[in-house]
Copies of this chain bind each other. A is one copy, B any other.
Amino acid sequence: MKGDFPTLFERSRSGRRGTRPPSVGDVDLAAMLGADNMRSEPARLPELDELSVVRHYTNLSRRQVGVDTSFYPLGSCTMKYNPRASEAAAALFTELHPYQDPESVQGALQIIYELQEYLAEITGMDAVTLQPAAGAHGELTGMMLIRAYHESRGEGEQRRVVLVPDSAHGSNPASSMMAGFVVREIPSGADGEVDLNELRAALGPEVAAIMLTNPNTLGLFERKILELIDAAHQQGVQLYYDGANLNAIMGWARPGDMGFDVIHLNLHKTFSTPHGGGGPGSGPVGAKAHLAPFLPVPTVKREGERYLFDYDRPQTIGRMRSFYGNFGVMVRAYTYIRMLGAAGLKRSSALAVLNANYLRKKLKDAGYIIPHDRLCKHEFVAQPPAGLHALDVAKALLDYGYHPPTIYFPLIVKEALMIEPTETESQETLDEYVTVMAEIARRGQEDPDWISHTPYSTPVRRLDEVSANRHPRLRWKPEE
């Protein structure tokens, strides 16, 4: 009895009204705005009563899964529980305007200041900006810092190359490009880690930076990290740390202590603010002292009992975003850090790693291939048993009520299933998941037709992506 789910526009009826703003009485808009400046016809927004709006979005949400509904082991995304306490905290700070007199927002500035400090402490960096709006935005900021640093030393023209492992997230090369760099890929070794010799060979006076995430996207800790960074530093190369995987090592190791010069964090991953269906997030950037002069302005500083915006950074790269960043996300992360403290963060990382290793072991027993079968960190990459495709396993999982892992990433592993269970999932959830994965493997091998047509029980089934790309329909239009 599933049919098409109508759009807002199809539910619209001419003249229908929802919520009504205060009436302004008789105003001569044309006189105030200039008749020539006015819109000739109203925007064709949907016309709905309030109940229709509520039903539409309520039912849309029932066609959607999230961490709140199901296990969501999406590798690289850290889909952990998003505490409702953090939502309650954020709601206390919604009615602040960014241009208020700073004396009237001392509480907000204190949060920014303290969060800068906490993140510096957690990562081992010297200075932090909270301005970037997401991880990739943080990457861009960080890479611009490196650019500015080299420029300040007269090496701006010369150092144009950024080395990025072939296992890197796509945003790393893309951010390097936007920061004006040329990207060179470094192959991973057979052990899944950066090949130190290849890297050494690639280093040179034209290299500005290396972007790494550690543990890397295979979930493996780069064991030669100290050596690697040392080699790079000797050549004047800066080290960028993609913090998307920080959930693996909080309280166990700090990128700063490894030698990284600049990092970004994803507050929406590691610090458990909700992903909101794709955002908003927050991508703070931490820098070592030598890069701090270039940070975007403003940051927040403390003078005695007062908190002030600090614009005093003459070498700044400039601004990356209007205002001060995604403050609402910062409040959530701040609340989270205050609740967990050092011990809670450390325990969270340990249990994230425990869950991943447990699942790795159990899935291997269940017939999945683990291409790099060693101690992993918060995630690992598996491959389906012979004859099965990652996509089909993912679609079959939907019928069992699970959100699938990340698939076909990292690119260096064929048929990759990148699995990150996070620390907020229980042993029995992992066990049930393994049972289902085993059943999918068995049934899929016995009955290829079955698996290639999964899912069966979702609101819609496999969708025609080819035609969506060939003939995209990117907005609703009335039937002609």
Q: Given A58-B68, A69-B62, A424 and B1 touching (CB < 8 A)?
A: no
A58 proximity list for chain B (CB < 8 A): 68-69
Instruction: Please provide the chain A residues from 1 to 23 with a CB less than 8 Å away from any CB of chain B in the complex.
Output: 1, 13, 16
A69 proximity list for chain B (CB < 8 A): 55, 58-59, 62
0/1 string, A23-38, CB within 8 A of B gives 1: 0000000000000000
Q: How far is the CA of A475 from the CA of B422 in the complex (A)?
A: 34
| Contact between chains at B1 and A81 (CB < 8 Å) | no
| Contact between chains at B400 and A1 (CB < 8 Å) | yes
**Among A51, A401, A457: residue with most chain B CB under 10 A:** A51
| Contact between chains at A426 and B52 (CB < 8 Å) | yes
Chain B CB within 8 A of A223 CB? no
The 8 Å CB contact of A1, one of B13, B67, B70, B399, is: B399
A54 proximity list for chain B (CB < 8 A): 68, 81, 84
| Contact between chains at B84 and A68 (CB < 8 Å) | no
Q: Given A1-B399, A55-B69, A70-B55, A13 and B83 touching (CB < 8 A)?
A: no
| Contact between chains at A426 and B49 (CB < 8 Å) | yes
Q: Given A1-B401, A1-B457, A62-B62, A428 and B50 touching (CB < 8 A)?
A: no
| Contact between chains at A49 and B428 (CB < 8 Å) | no
Q: For the complex formed by this chain, how many copies does it contain in all?
A: 2
Q: How far is the CA of A49 from the CA of B69 in the complex (A)?
A: 15
A55 proximity list for chain B (CB < 8 A): 68-70
DSSP class of A's interface residues: helix, strand, loop or mixed?
loop
Q: How far is the CA of A16 from the CA of B51 in the complex (A)?
A: 41
Instruction: Please provide the chain A residues from 80 to 107 with a CB less than 8 Å away from any CB of chain B in the complex.
Output: 81, 83-84
| Contact between chains at A426 and B50 (CB < 8 Å) | no
Q: How far is the CA of A49 from the CA of B49 in the complex (A)?
A: 40
| Contact between chains at A50 and B400 (CB < 8 Å) | no
Q: How far is the CA of A428 from the CA of B16 in the complex (A)?
A: 12
Shortest beta-carbon distance, A229 to chain B, in Å?
37
Q: Which residue of B lies closest to A11 (CB)?
A: B428
The 8 Å CB contact of A49, one of B50, B68, B424, B457, is: B424
A424 proximity list for chain B (CB < 8 A): 49, 51
| Contact between chains at A51 and B457 (CB < 8 Å) | no
Q: Which residue of B lies closest to A400 (CB)?
A: B1
Shortest beta-carbon distance, A74 to chain B, in Å?
15
Q: Which residue of B lies closest to A436 (CB)?
A: B1
| Contact between chains at A13 and B50 (CB < 8 Å) | no
**Among A55, A83, A400, A457: residue with most chain B CB under 10 A:** A55
Q: How far is the CA of A1 from the CA of B49 in the complex (A)?
A: 36
Q: How far is the CA of A183 from the CA of B35 in the complex (A)?
A: 73
Q: Which residue of B lies closest to A52 (CB)?
A: B426
0/1 string, A51-78, CB within 8 A of B gives 1: 1101100110010000111100000000
Q: How far is the CA of A401 from the CA of B6 in the complex (A)?
A: 14
Shortest beta-carbon distance, A70 to chain B, in Å?
7
Q: Which residue of B lies closest to A456 (CB)?
A: B1
A49 proximity list for chain B (CB < 8 A): 424, 426
Q: How far is the CA of A1 from the CA of B440 in the complex (A)?
A: 13
Q: How far is the CA of A461 from the CA of B416 in the complex (A)?
A: 39
Q: How far is the CA of A52 from the CA of B425 in the complex (A)?
A: 9
Shortest beta-carbon distance, A344 to chain B, in Å?
11
Instruction: Please provide the chain A residues from 141 to 167 with a CB less than 8 Å away from any CB of chain B in the complex.
Output: none
Q: How far is the CA of A162 from the CA of B19 in the complex (A)?
A: 46
0/1 string, A396-432, CB within 8 A of B gives 1: 0001110000000000000000000000111010000
Besides A16-B426, A50-B84, 20 other CB < 8 A contacts?
Answer: A1-B399, A1-B401, A1-B457, A13-B426, A13-B428, A49-B424, A49-B426, A50-B81, A50-B83, A51-B81, A51-B424, A52-B426, A54-B81, A54-B84, A55-B68, A55-B69, A55-B70, A58-B68, A58-B69, A59-B69
- 14 contacts across the A-B interface (CB closer than 8 A): A1-B399, A1-B401, A1-B457, A13-B428, A49-B424, A49-B426, A50-B81, A50-B83, A52-B426, A54-B68, A55-B68, A58-B68, A59-B69, A62-B69
The 7 A-B pairs with the shortest beta carbon distances in the complex, nearest first, are A51-B81, A58-B68, A51-B424, A1-B399, A54-B68, A1-B457, A58-B69
